[in-house]
Amino acid sequence: MDTSSQVPPFEQIRPQLAALIRTGGLAEGERLPTVRELAADLDLAPGTVARAYRELEVVGLVCTRRGAGTRVAGLPSGPYAHDAQQLGTLARDVTSAARALGAGTEDILAAVRNALSSGPDTAPAAVDSGTMAPGPPRHR
C-alpha cells in the first residue's frame, strides 16, 4: 500500500488483485485471504478490503460464498475492458513519483516504453517497502 498516494486504499488493492487474477498469478478457484486477514496484513480497516472484494465480485473476477470464502472466478474468454479513469489515476501517480525523482518527460516515457516492452515475466522482483508485494496475498 502506498500511504502517500491520493488513491484510496481499496482502489490500490482492487487493481493489484485484478492484475494477479488476469495474469494467472491467482488461479481459478484459489481462495483469497479473508477480509479480516488481509485487512490485518495491510493494516487497513476490514471495510476497505471488503469494498475491494465487492468491486472485484461485481466485475466477475471473484465470487464469495458463505462458508467457502472469496475465491477467484473463471475468467471470461474474451477481452476485458479496462477502467479508463483508474488508468489515468495510475498514470498521474507514476508521473508524479517519477518527477519527484527528478525525471523529465522523455525519461518517464522511455521508462514506460521499457516497462511495456519487457512484459510481465521480466518485471523486476524488487518491491518498495511502501507498496503491496506483487505476489498472491499471504495466508495465515
Reported as a single tens digit per residue, the pLDDT across 127-138 is 333 333 334 443
Distance CA 58, CA 72 (A): 13
Burial group, residue 48, by CB count within 10 angstroms (0-12, 13-18, 19+):
buried
Sign of CA dihedral 59, 65, 68, 74: negative
- pLDDT attached to residue 115: 84
Provide the β-strand partners of residue 69.
65
Give all strands (DSSP E) within 5-131, no chain letters.
62-65, 69-72
Q: Is 121 helix (H, G, I), strand (E, B) or coil?
A: helix
* Lookup: cell for 29: 478457484
Amino acid symbol at 85: Q
Q: Cα-flanking dihedrals φ and ψ of residue 36, to 5°?
A: -65, -40
Q: What are the pLDDT digits (tens) for 24-71?
A: 899 999 999 999 999 999 999 999 999 999 999 998 899 999 888 999
In this prediction the pTM is 0.58
Q: What are the pLDDT digits (tens) for 71-122?
A: 999 876 655 556 676 677 778 878 888 888 899 999 999 998 988 887 655 4
